[in-house]
Amino acid sequence: MKKVTVSIGVVLILLALFSCTDNYQRHYQLGKWYHDKGLINEAILEFIAATRAKEDNHQAHQSLAIAYTKKGWYDYALKEAETAFDLYPADENYKLIQVIKQNLEAIEALGLE
C-alpha cells in the first residue's frame, strides 16, 4: 500500500512539473503572437503569466521588457530587462538595458517624468 501511495505521489509531482512547462510555453507563444500582431496589452498579460509559470526563463522577462518599452513604461521595462540579464548575462540583454536607460534619461532631461 505504501508503494502505491508513493508511486501516485511521484506521478502527481511529475504531472505538475510538466504542466508548468506546458503552461509557460502556451503563455509565452501566445504573448509572442499578440506582440507580432501589435496587441501589446494582451502580449504583456501573457508574458507576465509566462514569467509566473517559469520565473527563471530569461526570454519571457526579455519579451516583457520589450513590450513595456513599446508602451513607454520604462521603469517596468528596466526591471524586467535586468532580471533577464541576471538570468542570462548575454550581450543582447545588456544592450536592452542600455537602450531603456537612454530612454529614461531622455525623458528626465525633457522633464517629462
Q: How confident is the model at residue 111 (pLDDT cuts 50, 70, 90)?
A: confident
CATH architecture assignment, domain 2-110: Alpha Horseshoe (1.25)
Q: Grid coordinates 507563444 are at which residue? A: 29
Nearest in space to 73 (alpha carbons), one of 49, 42, 41:
41
Dump pLDDT digits (tens) for 11-64.
445 444 444 557 899 999 999 999 999 999 999 999 999 999 999 999 999 999
Q: Please state the pTM of the whole predicted model.
A: 0.78
Residue 108 pLDDT grade (very low, low, confident, very high; cuts 50, 70, 90):
confident
pLDDT tens-digit series, residues 72-100: 999 999 999 999 999 999 999 999 999 99
CA gyration radius, the chain: 18
Residue type, 13: I
d(CA 91, CA 42): 28
Residue 70 and residue 79 in contact, taking contact as beta carbons nearer than 8 Å: no
Quote the CA–CA distance of 85 and 65 in Å, as a whole number: 11
Cell 536592452 maps to which residue?
96
- Flag whether pLDDT at 102 surpasses 80: yes
pLDDT at 22: 74
